Amino acid sequence: MKMKKLILVVAIILAAVGVLSAQGRIAFRADAAVGFSAGDYKVESVADFATKSIVGYRFSGGIEAPIGYGLYVNPGIAFHSKGMKTNFGEVGSAALGLSSLKAQMHYIEIPVHLGYRLSLLNLVSVAVQAGPYLSYAIKGDGTAIREDGQETAFDIYKEGLNEMMKAKRFDVGLGAAAMVGYSNFYLLIGADFGLINTVKDIKPKTENLEATLKNTSFHVGLGIRL
């Protein structure tokens, strides 16, 4: 059912692109980037834990459909890893029974951005764009270290951490990017900011607590525009 919703969104976007294509030449884009992600992780009545960034990837493709006056719509699809690493300290260890946690999620992401492109010279251009995204996690890898030093690897979405901690597959947020292009190539700098809580359930050993984790990521890469 969830994948059907994702397919429906893609179909709507493609239909909209068909309408926009009448406005001018559509350009195709593809890029690859190194990602840096660090989620905002909080546990109610325990702490707002500081997270460390982890290195990941982002591969994406999309189109630019011009709508006039330098403006364009950029729907696309991306394969993007996000996550975080956090040390809980004494307070978190007492409530959760863990000393640290690392999570890395692998998403299929559908961003739809509105952008503006300015040509400076014959071969040089700059562009900025921003808009919402919808993503669905196809895989999630977690590593937890307990107070006694024991390390446990787990699938975030299937079994969770011994039935204690599970995550939601869907994420919704806002993204933005800036590009400097030369001929058909461009340098890309972008960011994604998750708007919803991706933690589905958390049941510490002492009591039920509510936890929130919102994805935040940045990426730098190179791309080609044809």
pLDDT > 80? residue 224: yes
pLDDT > 90? residue 118: yes
For residue range 175-203, list pLDDT tens digits in order: 999 999 999 999 999 999 999 888 766 55
**What CATH number corresponds to the domain at position 175?**
2.40.160
Is the CB of residue 164 less than 8 Å from the CB of residue 133? no
Residues 58 and 220: their CA atoms lie apart, in Å, by 9
Tokens of 10: 């893609």
Name the phi and psi angles at 224, rounded to 5: -130, 140
The residue ranking higher by pLDDT, 15 or 135, is: 135
Tokens of 186: 């461009």
* Average pLDDT, integer, range 118-122: 89
**Average pLDDT score over the chain:** 82
Q: What predicted TM-score, i.e. pTM, was given to this entire model?
A: 0.81
Tokens of 125: 């251009």
The residue ranking higher by pLDDT, 63 or 98, is: 63
Tokens of 80: 């993007």
- Strand stretches in 38-169, DSSP E: 40-43, 47-49, 51-52, 54-68, 71-87, 98-119, 124-146, 151-155, 165-167
> What Å distances lie between residue 195 and 75, 112, 177, 198, 214, CA to CA?
19, 16, 17, 9, 6
Domain count of the chain?
1
**Domain assignment of residue 166, given as a range:** 2-225
Count of beta carbons in the 10 Å neighbourhood of residue 74: 21
pLDDT > 70? residue 47: no
pLDDT > 90? residue 28: yes
Q: Which residues, listed in sequence order, are joined to residue 217 by a DSSP beta bridge?
A: 37, 192
pLDDT > 90? residue 146: no
Q: Of 7-21, 60-74, 88-102, 114-128, which gets the smallest average pLDDT?
A: 7-21
Question: In terms of C-beta density within 10 A (0-12 exposed, 13-18 middle, 19 or more buried), how is residue 141 classed?
Answer: middle
Is the CB of residue 221 less than 8 Å from the CB of residue 185? no
